[in-house]
Structure 1
Amino acid sequence: HKVSLTLPVNNYRWLRGQDEYDNWHDSGVALNASRTFYLPPNKRVCQDCHMPLEPATLGDVAAKDGHVKSHRFLAVNTALPFLRNDQETIKRIEAFLQDEKLSVDIFALKTEKMKEPVMAINHAKLLLTAGEKITVDVVVRNKGVGHTFPGGTNDSNEGWLEFSLVDEEGHTLAMSGKINDDGHLDAMAHVFKVLILDKHGKPIHKRNAQDIHVTVFANVIGPGTADIAHYEFTVPKELSGQTLTLRARLLWRKFDRKYTEFAFNANREGFKQFDEVPELPITEIASAEVSLQVDTRNPKLANGTTKNPSEWVRYNDYGIGLLLEGDTRGAAGAFERVLKLRPDLIEGPLNLAKTAVRDGHIDKVYNYLKHCEKLKPGDPRVAWVWGVALQEDGQYEKAALAYRRVLEQFPDDRATWRNLGRTYYLNQQYDEALDALAELLKIDAEDRVGHYHRMLCLRALGREKEAEAAKAAYEFYQIDESAQEITRVFKLKNPGANLMAQKIRRHQLTISY
C-alpha cells in the first residue's frame, strides 16, 4: 500500500502514488507521531481493523477459542459485491463504515454581524433573523480510520458531504452534494477524494496511473484530524415564524460516476447483468441534524453551554479543523473552550501552544507549555512543541534536548528525526545532524527534505562527492512545482475543483421557496 510511479512507467519523473503505509505509520494510530492531536492507548495495525476475530462457524482447525481472523478484508469496496448481487457483504461493509469510523457535527454558526461564531449550536437557543446571511460550519472527523479517509485509489473514490436545508413541512429548500439525474455528483459538492490531471490538463478518470502528472486537490482527513465545510445562505423571509432544519450526511460511493461509465463501456462482459450503466450503492457513513427558529426580530445568539465533560472533544475537533485551514484565530477560540471544559487535560493548552507557534507568538507558546508541564510533566507530545518553539527561537541546544525527549517514547517519529537533524545543522553540529537524518531515512528512504538537509551538512563538511549524491536524491524526489501551471488553467474552467483546492471551502446555497 505504498507505491510510486517512476520514469519507465510515466515517461515523466518520480511521483508518489497510493500511500496508506506512511499515512498509518506517521500517525498516532501507530504510536509514531508525537504531534498527533489524539493519542490512542494502544497501537493498531492493519489486521486489527481489517481482519477482526469472528466465529469459526465451520469448525476451522486454525480456530482459537472458537474464533479465526476474518479474511473478508472489509473496507470500503461496495462496488464489487454489488456487481455480484452479494447483499450480505454490502451490509457488512456498511456496518464496518458506520462503526465509529467518522463523525459529522453541525457545530458552528455565524451571521454577517457577528465577530465570532456561535459554537455547539445544538445547545444554544438560536433565533435567526429572516433575510440575514448565515454561515454554518460542518465538522467531519476521522475517529477510527487508521490512515486517511478516504484511502486507496482516491482518483476514483467518491466521498462527499450532502448538506440540506429543510422547512418544517419536510420540503428541501436547498442542497449541496446532490446526485444529479445523470448519476454524477454535484460539481460544487464538498468532496473527499483526489483530483489529478495528465500533462494535457485532462482529469485522470480511468485509473490510468501512467498518465498522472499533477494534483489539483487532495481533500482527505488524516487519523485523528478533522475537516470543515462552510455553507453560506440567506434565510428566506418566508420562513419567519417557522423552523429551519439543517441536515448533513457523509456519503460514500466506491467509484465516481465517470469511472463507472468507463468500466461499463470498456468491459460490457463484466456488466452483462446490466442493460445500462449501473447506479452503484451509496452508503451513509454518519449524519447530523439541527433545527433552528426563524423570526423577523433581531436574532438571539449565544454560545452553547453543556455540563457534559465529553463535549470538549467537539470543540477540539472544530479547533483542529480551523487550525489545518490556517484560521488560527478561530482555532484559538475553540481551544480556549476546551481548556475551560477540561482544565485537567493537556489538550487545551497544548493545542493553544500549537496555534501560537503558527502565529509566531513564542512567548505565548512558552506559557501554554508551562501550563501543560504542570498538568502532565515530561509528556512527549508537549516536548515536540517545546522543540519546535525553541528551534524557532534559535535555542538549538534546548530544542535538541526536547526532540531527544520525544524520541524516548516515539523512536520512529520521522518528523522529530527530521527536525532534530535540521536543528543540529543550524547549530553547526553537522555530524550529529547526519546521524539524525540517517535515522529519518531508515524510516523513509524517499524523504526529500531529509536528503536536502543531508546535502547541506555534507557540503558544510567539505564532502562534496557525497553531497552531490544527496543532491541527486533530493532532486529525484522533489516536487515539480512548474506543473502547477496546468492546474491553474483547469481551475479557471472548473469552479468546483477550484473551490476544493482552497484552504477554506465556502459553499454557496441558493434557497428556492
Structure 2
Amino acid sequence: MKLRSLPQRIGRVLVGALLGGSLTCFLLGARTSTAHADNDAAQPAQRTVYSQSVAEHYNTRFGADHPFLPSLATTDTGEFINPRSFPTAKYCGHCHQQAHAEWRQSAHSNSFRTPWYTRNVNLLMAEKGIEYARHCEGCHNPIALTSGAMTKGSPINRKFDEDGVTCSVCHAIQKVDTRGTGSYVLAQPAVLVDENDKPIYGDISDKEILTHLDRHSKAVMKDFYRTSEYCSACHKAALPRQLNDYKWQRAIFLYDEWQQSSFAKQSPLPFYTKDSVSTCQTCHMPREALTLSDPGAKEGKLASHRWLGANTIMSKFYGYDVQMDKTVAFLRNNVFNIDIFGLEKNGGSMTGPLGTEPVSIASGDTLTTSIIIQNKGIAHSHVPEQRDMYESWVEFEAKDATGRILSHSGGLMPNGDLDPRAHSFTNRLVNVKGEINDLHQVWNNRVVAYNNTIASGRSQIVRYQFRVPVDAKGPITVTARVNYRRFDQHFMDFAMGKDHYPMPIVEMAARTRSFELGNNPATKPDPVDNPLWMRWNNYGIAMLDAQQYAESVRAFEQVARLRPDYPDAHTNIAIANFQWQRYDDSRTTLDQALKLSPRNARALYYLALVERNQGNLDAAIADLHEVIAQFPRSRDAHRELGFSFYQQRKYNEARAEYETLQTIDPDDLAAHYILSIVYRRLGLADKAAHEAAMFADQKDDPTASTYALEFLRKHTEVANETIPWHTHTDLTPQQAKQGGTPAQ
C-alpha cells in the first residue's frame, strides 16, 4: 500500500460528511503536557511518516484505495492521522467548561466505551474480523478508524477510546454529504489558522488563541456544522455488501425522514405544516443558560452539547443524573398524542370520537376500543428504522371501579421480556436461517420481517377487545400509554452479562377515559384532546395507513365538514381515493382543494399523479413544475417529473430531474433505475453501467421474503402485528405486572 498515492485516488472516490451532527466544543485550551495535541506528531511531514508506518501492517481487505471501508469516512489527504495530533476533550474543556461538562454526559462522548456497544461490535469482530468493524467505528470511534487502529495486531495506543466522538473530531470535519455511514472528510485538527487562513498544527498557547479569537473560530467552525446535512453522515446508515457479503441494505435514514417531514418544510406532502423550520440542531442542541464558564456562549446561553435523545440506559449506567432527568423530560415533551377515539360494542359500528356522542355500556358487553397514537413531536420515525433492539410499545389496561383488571396488554413477563403480542413500535430483522437477529447482528440481516415504526406526523390505530364481566362494578376505566426503554431485555442481559438487568422505563404519554355502566352522555371537549377536526384527521391518517380506504374517506369528509375552509381536507380525501384506485373521485376533490387554494402545492402534486394516470402528461408536467417552484427540494416532485419526462421520451429533461433527485437522496432507487436506461439511450455507457450496478445492489431481493415467512411461521404470536388492520383480543388480565425501574 503506497500512501503517497492515496490522496488523489481516495479523494475521487470518497467524499463525505460527519458523524452525529453537532457543534462540539470550541477548541480553546490551556497548555497541559498531557492534554493537548502532540506537537511533533502534528506536523505535516510527520503525518506522512506515520501513515506509511501504519500502512506496513494494515489489512487492506477492501482495497488499497479504500482503507476505511466499509465506513464511507475518509481523510482530507487519504492518509492516516496520528491519534496524538487530536487535542483531547480535557484540553478543550479548560476554557469551554460548560460544553465539556455537557459533552461528557452525552451519547457522543460515550459512543465507544459502553458495554452494550462493545459487546455487540465484538460479535462482529469475532465472526468476521476487526476490519469489518470499520463500518461501525467510522461513527462510534473516528479516531480509531482514521488512525489505522482498526487492523489486527495494531500497536496504536487507544487512550482516545474513552473520549468517543470528541471535540476535535467534530470540529475537524471538512466536508459532508448525505450518503451516511460516516460519509465525512476528516482533516488533521487545528485550533488556529494563520493570517492566510492556513491551519497551524500542534500545541497552541492560550495567549495565541485569545489574541486571535477570529482565527480560532475559522479553525474550528464552519457554516455547515449548523445544518441537518452535517448530522446525516452518521445519523443515516446502510449495510453495504462489504459488510454482509450479500447486498446493500438501508439501516437508518433519520436525515431522509427529517427532510421529508413537516419540520424541514422542504416537502409539500406532510399532513400537517409547521410555522418554522426545525433542523436537527433545533431539537437536539437548544440554547441553554450557562451554569459554568464558556466563551462560546451568546447572551449567557450555549447551544447544548448534551444532544438529548433517548439514551436512558447510558445515563443510568454512568450515574449521569442531570442527563437522565433532561432525557426523561425530553421524551415526555409533547412527543405523542394519545386519543382513545372510538368504541365498538358487541361487533357493531364504532361510536366516536368518544366524548362527542352518547354511548351505552352494559355488563356482559364485548368492547373494542380504537386508540390513535399520533407522532407529533419527532422529525423522524419512532423508533428509527433497524433499531431492532430499542423498545417502545403501547400498554393498554381496562379495569373496573374495584381495581379489578379486565384486560391488560403490553406487560412485561417475569424474565423482563415484553409480551410478544404487544403493539410495539419496532421491527424484526431476520437472517438467512429464518431466525431473528436477537443481538443486533445487522451484518447477518436478510429482511425486515415487519416494521411498525410510526413516521413523523403520522398516526397509528391500535385496537383492543375485551369483555365486561357480568359482575363488574362501574365505572370501567380504560388507559393507554406509550412506554419506552432503551433496549429489549434479552439484548440488555447479553450486553451486561447478567439476567434481568434493570432498565429505566419511561412513560412518554398516557390517556385515560372512564365509562359508566349504563348511559354515558356526550360531554364538553376535554382540553387534553386535540380539536375535534384534528381527532378526525388523525383517525383518517391512521385508517389510510391501515389500508381502510372507505373509512379513511369518511373521516376526512368529517374534517371537511368541520373546516370547510381547509384545503387539505379535500386533498386527504383525494389521497385515500387515489390509493383506492378511484381516480375520478380523487380528481373531483382535488379540484375542490384548488378552488380553496389555487396554487396549493400539495393538491397539485396529487393532481399531477391523477392526470398522468389519465394520460394527460403535459398537464401533469406543468403541475409538477409548479410544485418544484414552491418546494425545490421536494424529492417526490423531482422523481415524478423525471418519470413523466421519461414517458415522453424527453431523456435530457428526465436526466436533469433524476440527477437533481440524487443531490437530495444519493440512494433513490427509482433514480438509479431510470438513469441506467436514460444514460444508455443518451449514449453514456459508463454512467448507465454504474447506475445499473447501483440499482442491482440496492433493489430488494425478491427471495428474501421467504426468510420473513419462515420466521412468522415459527412465531405465530407476533404474526398478527404484520397485518395493517388487526385487533388485540383474548388479553389475559394480569393482577401483577413486573417491569424495569420506572423513570420518574
Asked if 1:149 is matched to 2:370, the reply is no
1:177-326 map, 5 Å = 177-239=410-472, 242-265=474-497, 277-295=500-518, 310-326=531-547
Distance 2:619 2:451 in 1: 36
Offset from partner CA, 1:82-136 (integer Å, 9 cap, x none): 1123333222111111111111111112234534x22211333211243333321
Structure 2 counterpart of 1:405: 626
CA contact (8 A) 1:111 1:135 kept: yes
Aligned length: 498
Please, what TM-score do these two structures have when normalized by structure 2? 0.64
Instruction: Note the C-alpha offset of 1:330.
Output: 1.1
- Contact (CA 8 Å) 2:355, 2:522: kept in 1 or not? no
One-letter code of the match for 2:446?
Answer: H
SS of aligned partner of 2:516: strand
Give the one of 263, 266, 275 matched to 1:32: 266
Structure with greater strand percent: 1
Matched-pair contact (CA < 8 Å) for 1:421–1:434:
yes
Structure 1 residue 459: Cα displacement = 5.3
Counterpart-to-counterpart distance in 1, 2:608 and 2:520: 41
Between 1:82-91 and 1:343-352, the stretch displaced more is 82-91
Query: Which position in structure 1 is the counterpart of 2:164?
Result: none
- How far apart in 2 are the matches of 1:186 and 1:171? 20
In structure 2, what is the equivalent of residue 71 of structure 1?
305
1:152 shift after superposition: 6.5
The code of the aligned residue for 1:206 comes to L
Greater Cα offset, 484-493 or 198-207: 198-207
Amino acid at match of 1:406: V
Where do residues 153-172 of structure 1 align in structure 2 (5 Å cutoff)? 154-172=387-405
1:385 corresponds to 2:625: no
TM-fit CA distance, 1:461: 5.5
Structure 1: unaligned runs, 5 residues or longer: 269-275
1:59 aligns with 2:282: no
**One-letter code aligned to 1:288:** R
1:360 aligns with 2:581: yes
Question: In structure 1, what is the equivalent of residue 728 of structure 2?
Answer: 507
- Cα shift at 1:463: 6.0
Q: Is contact 1:196–1:215 with CA below 8 Å preserved after alignment?
A: yes
- Residues 34-82 of structure 1, C-alpha deviation per residue, up to 9 Å, x if partnerless? 2111121211111100111110122321211111111111110100111
CA distance in 2, matches of 1:360, 1:129: 41
* 1:143-162 deviation digits (Å, cap 9, x = unpaired): 11011111276111000000
- Unaligned 5+ runs, structure 2: 1-234, 736-744
Task: State the AA in 2 paired with 1:264.
Answer: M
Specify the SS of the correspondent of 2:424. Answer: strand
- 5 Å matches for 1:420-431? 420-431=641-652
Cα separation, 1, equivalents of 2:312 and 2:732: 33
1:449 is aligned to 2:670:
yes
Matches of 1:384 and 1:435, distance apart in 2: 19
Q: Which has the larger radius of gyration?
A: 2
Q: Which has the higher contact order (CA 8 A, sep 6+)?
A: 1
Two-structure CA RMSD over aligned residues (Å)? 2.3
1:237 is paired with a residue of what secondary structure? coil
Match of 2:276 in 1: 42
Distance in 2 separating the partners of 1:468 and 1:104? 49
1:365-380 equivalences under 5 Å are 365-380=586-601
C-alpha distance after superposition, 1:5-36 (max 9, x if no partner) = 12221111111112211111122221122211
Identify the residue that residue 271 of structure 1 maps to in structure 2.
Answer: none
Q: Does residue 470 of the first structure (1) align with residue 691 of the second (2)? A: yes
Task: Give the C-alpha shift of residue 507 in structure 1.
Answer: 0.9
Query: What pairs up with 1:97-136 in 2 under 5 angstroms?
Result: 97-115=331-349, 117-136=350-369
| 307 and 82 in structure 1: CA distance in 2 versus 1, 3 angstrom threshold | closer
Give the Å deviation of 1:350. 1.4
Inter-partner Cα distance in structure 2 for 1:396 and 1:181: 61
C-alpha distance in structure 2 between counterparts of 1:223 and 1:110, whole Å = 28
Distance in 2 separating the partners of 1:460 and 1:303: 65
TM-score (norm 1): 0.92
- Give the counterpart letter for 1:59 in structure 2: S
How far does residue 251 in structure 1 lie from its aligned partner after superposition? 0.2
Q: Is the 8 A contact 2:608 2:624 kept in 1?
A: yes
Amino acid at match of 1:46: C
Give distance in 2, aligned partners of 1:168 and 1:95: 32
1:386 CA drift (Å): 1.2
Deviations 1:468-510 (A, max 9, x none): 4432221111111211101111101212331222222321144
1:18 pairs with 2:256 = no
Change (3 A) 1:196 1:500: same
Change (3 A) 1:302 1:53: same
SS of residue paired to 2:704: helix
